[in-house]
Amino acid sequence: MKLTRLMRMAFAVARSNSVATQVEVREPMKRERMRIMNGILTLIIVGLLIAPIASLKAAGAAKPAPGATGESVMAAEEELTRALRDNDADGIARCLSDDWAVISARGGVGQGKSIFPDGIKSGFLKHTAYEVSEPRVRLYGNVALVTTKLHNAGTFGGKPYDVLERQTDVWLWKDGGWKCVLTHEAWEGAEKDQKELSR
């Protein structure tokens, strides 16, 4: 069957109208898809920006793993540091074993977990600074050694002191928690360079 020239033109016109209609119909659909894609992209970007903040909050609220771990002993060390810095006698006592001992930078030995708490309660000892840095943790089963650099200042027997020390706390994991059993202090530098008047 031969198509006449007129029929071919009519077909061409009809086809071009159909294409134009399809283009007109596709353009709004294309715009709608673009709007949806832009919305999805915006949600993804916002999610990527919020995720790190949420992770940091979750990490800050996370508790250390249970048991004798490096994380759990550092949490115990931070609790003791906070109690000493805040002159919290009861908080200090909670962190120490009953037979706790301290070796001073001059070699003196003090024994019993009430030494610091009693000194704070009586006003004999008061910390005005207790800043810990450079923690080093070594774990040996249920025993941990935590060595830190310490800036310790305050009054002792009514006399001011301001010293830099290296301090090692020996921790024992017992009955599901850490207790400090020994604290050993050493000068950071020479004794003559410390601003300690009495101790």
Query: In sequence order, what DSSP letters do the residues of 121-154 get, joined into one string?
Result: HHTSEEEEEEEEEEEEEEEETTEEEEEEEEEEEE
pLDDT for residue 188: 83
pLDDT for residue 124: 93
Read off the pTM.
Answer: 0.64
pLDDT for residue 111: 93
Tens digits of pLDDT across the chain (199 residues) = 555 665 565 555 555 555 454 555 566 677 777 777 666 756 566 555 565 555 555 555 556 567 889 999 999 999 999 999 999 999 999 999 999 999 998 899 999 999 999 999 999 999 999 999 999 999 999 999 999 999 999 999 999 999 999 999 999 999 999 999 999 999 887 666 666 544 3
Half-sphere exposure of 189 (CA within 13 A, CB side): 9
Provide the CA 62 distance to its chain's centre, in angstroms: 9
Q: Which residues contact 168 (CB under 8 A, 6 or more apart)?
A: 145, 146, 147, 183, 184
pLDDT for residue 92: 96
Beta bridge partners of 153: 129, 162
